[in-house]
Amino acid sequence: MTVRNYMIVGANTLGLYAVLLASVMAFAFQFYYNELPCPLCMLQRMGLLLAAFGFMLNFKYGFKASHYGFSLFGLLLMMAVGMRQVFLHIVPGSGSYGSSFLGLHLYTWVVLMGVLGIFYIAVVLLCHNRDVVDAPLSKSAKIWGNIAGYGILVLVLLNLINAFMICGFGGCPDNPVAYTART
């Protein structure tokens, strides 16, 4: 593998682990601060996990620009929902939702992460070439990609369970305060 190939593999691995870290942090805030995610927060989480899906496709089927489309779509969805939530709380006196981290609320971080993610994918696509698609992955790259991929799949399952515990089969409450699991 060439240096460029190592960079592309590393960039995809980094992307997967960044999504893992952000998703685990969202759960940590949820359980440590006892703050249940609102419906917009749950949509942001799904957008983030959809972004990871594109990176997972690269590890499974080879590095293709079309796979990054899934990641871009997920990041754009996540950013749009995050911006909606920022706009809901930007008016003075309108309050905010949830705790802040380093002075910014999580929905503001989501917008910033989306911008960074789109920039990141643009750089990866600029470095992308046809040789990367055909290059076999090293054993260690496959292992790290598989670990991250399984972690993402676990997080998808946990988010589905979480959404069911909060919303049940009905609509989600605007400001959830308890696990209700209405059926």
Domain-embedded: residue 108: yes
Q: Is residue 105 within a helix (H) or strand (E), and if so which, with residue range?
A: strand 104-105
Q: What is the pLDDT of residue 80?
A: 92
What is the Cα–Cα distance from 183 to 149, expressed in whole angstroms? Answer: 32
Q: Quote the pLDDT of residue 76.
A: 92
Q: Is residue 183 part of a domain?
A: no
pLDDT of residue 41: 82
Residue 79 domain boundaries: 3-167
At residue 89, the pLDDT reads 74
Which residues have C-beta within 8 Å of that of residue 34, sequence separation ≥ 6? none
Please, which contacts does 137-140 make with residues 24 or more away whose CB atoms are closer than 8 Å? 137/9, 137/59, 138/1, 138/9
Write down the pLDDT at residue 96.
63
Q: Which regions of the chain are under pLDDT 70?
A: 1-6, 94-101, 128-137, 173, 176-178, 181-183
Residue 29 lies in a domain: yes
Confidence (pTM): 0.77
Is residue 180 included in any domain, yes or no?
A: no
Distance CA 11, CA 14 (A): 5
Looking up residue 7, the CATH number of its domain turns out to be 1.20.1550
Asked whether residue 177 is assigned to any structural domain, the reply reads: no
Would you state the pLDDT for residue 183? 45
**Is 82 a domain residue?**
yes
Give the DSSP H/E element, type plus range, for residue 42: helix 39-61
